[in-house]
């Protein structure tokens, strides 16, 4: 599965530590892990990051940001609370982003629940009486993980998002924790690259279930790189055999994880082999298990929520994606080798 979501009723500090160490992340009151994400009509692979806190030292540029902001503003760390002041800041901050956004801070952090299963702290930054930045982070027994940072756009020049993460790191060190998880960065999509400034990061290699120093990272290790490479190679092989195919995006790939429908297709890209008015023969590739899969899929009768329709909107003028929920009707085989899956796919492409 490319996206896995669990909805725990409670979560201990030790359990949070274990999940974070396996590349999981908190979202609302859920906790999830994933290998793919869509931004701007393109699929990417998020790569989970962590920072060892033992012996941690800020770079010269980070020390400058930390020193200047602590001198200019009032900074504090305490148990997290949600109030009108922080929600107003959240609403000002979210105007910076396109696409679907939570309606309120309460919805974003707690899914409108009346309780929080995580042990959440906050950093607040005031300029006089004005709240200009806040961040929220969860703590485990041995770790801290950054969840959200918000700031007043009028104060953008102060690098407040980066600054509040530095305060979180300092809290983690002072409270005796060894690991700090800042979430993910996205190779080839620079919006999240600022996290790499925090220090000597490690990245999580999902296929190995292991953490490695970031200086060893290569884009060719990402699931999306492997997925694209395998599908393009198979497309070429089939073209040489006289069969035209098409690589399609499927931006609704993770919705089965949300609504509990495991039969929904969970690949963000696949090779379209043959399509009729009611069915579709496709090949996808599991970049974690290194397996090709051939199957027949069909339209799924599930409801498309407004937020899901927003996901599809960027693709509306391009014939490059499935624009409906699709479910597996019949699995036709799982294969290790391209030659084996190509033979079967070619046979199905010319069958009636």
**CB-CB contact of 271 with 54 (8 Å):** no
Tokens encoding 280:
């579709």
- Render each residue's pLDDT in the chain as its tens digit; 352 residues: 678 888 899 999 999 999 999 999 999 999 999 999 998 889 999 999 999 999 999 999 999 999 999 999 999 999 999 999 999 999 998 776 655 567 888 888 888 677 899 999 999 999 999 999 999 999 999 999 999 999 999 999 999 999 999 999 999 999 999 999 999 999 999 989 999 999 999 999 998 999 999 999 999 999 999 999 999 999 999 999 998 999 988 888 887 766 656 678 889 999 999 877 677 889 999 999 999 999 888 877 766 666 666 667 666 655 666 667 777 778 888 999 999 999 988 888 776 5
> For residue 221, which of 287, 293, 289 has the smallest C-alpha distance?
287
Tokens encoding 36:
């793919």
Instruction: Report DSSP state, residue 206.
Output: T
Domain ranges of the chain: 3-220, 223-350
Report the distance separating Cα 194 and Cα 190, nearest Å.
8
Fold of 3-220: Aminopeptidase (3.40.630)
211, containing H or E segment: strand 210-213
Instruction: Provide the 3-class DSSP secondary structure of residue 193.
Output: helix
**CB-CB contact of 151 with 9 (8 Å):** no
The model's pTM:
0.90
Residues 6+ apart with CB under 8 A from 298: 278, 279, 280, 326, 327, 329
């Amino acid at each position: 599965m490319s996206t896995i979501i669990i909805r725990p009723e409670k979560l201990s500090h030790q359990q949070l530590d274990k999940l974070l160490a396996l590349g999981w992340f908190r979202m609302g009151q859920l906790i999830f892990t994933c290998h793919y994400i869509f931004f701007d009509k393109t699929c990417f692979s998020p790569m989970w990051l962590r920072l060892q806190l033992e012996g941690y030292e800020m770079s010269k540029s980070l020390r400058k940001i930390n020193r200047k902001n602590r001198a200019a503003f009032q900074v504090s760390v305490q148990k997290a609370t949600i109030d009108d002041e922080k929600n107003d800041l959240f609403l000002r901050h979210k105007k910076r982003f396109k696409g679907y956004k939570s309606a309120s801070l309460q919805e974003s952090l707690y899914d409108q629940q009346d309780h929080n299963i995580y042990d959440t702290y906050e950093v607040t930054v005031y300029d006089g009486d004005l709240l200009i930045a806040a961040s929220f982070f969860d703590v485990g027994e041995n770790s801290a993980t950054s969840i959200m940072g918000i700031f007043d756009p009028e104060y953008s020049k102060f690098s407040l998002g980066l600054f509040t993460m530095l305060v979180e790191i300092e809290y983690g060190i002072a409270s005796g924790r060894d690991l700090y998880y800042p979430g993910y960065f996205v190779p080839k999509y620079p919006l999240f690259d600022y996290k790499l400034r925090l220090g000597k990061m490690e990245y999580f290699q999902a296929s190995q279930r292991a953490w490695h120093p970031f200086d060893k990272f290569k884009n060719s290790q990402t699931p999306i790189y492997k997925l694209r490479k395998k599908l393009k190679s198979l497309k070429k092989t089939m073209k040489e055999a006289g069969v035209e195919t098409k690589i399609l995006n499927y931006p609704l790939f993770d919705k089965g994880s949300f609504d509990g429908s495991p039969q929904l297709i969970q690949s963000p890209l696949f090779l379209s082999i043959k399509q009729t008015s009611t069915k579709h023969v496709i090949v996808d590739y599991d970049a974690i298990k290194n397996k090709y899969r051939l199957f027949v899929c069909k339209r799924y009768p599930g409801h498309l929520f407004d937020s899901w329709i927003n996901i599809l909107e960027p693709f509306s003028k391009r014939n490059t994606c499935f624009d409906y929920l699709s479910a597996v009707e019949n699995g036709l085989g799982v294969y290790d080798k391209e030659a084996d899956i190509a033979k079967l796919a070619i046979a199905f492409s010319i069958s009636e």
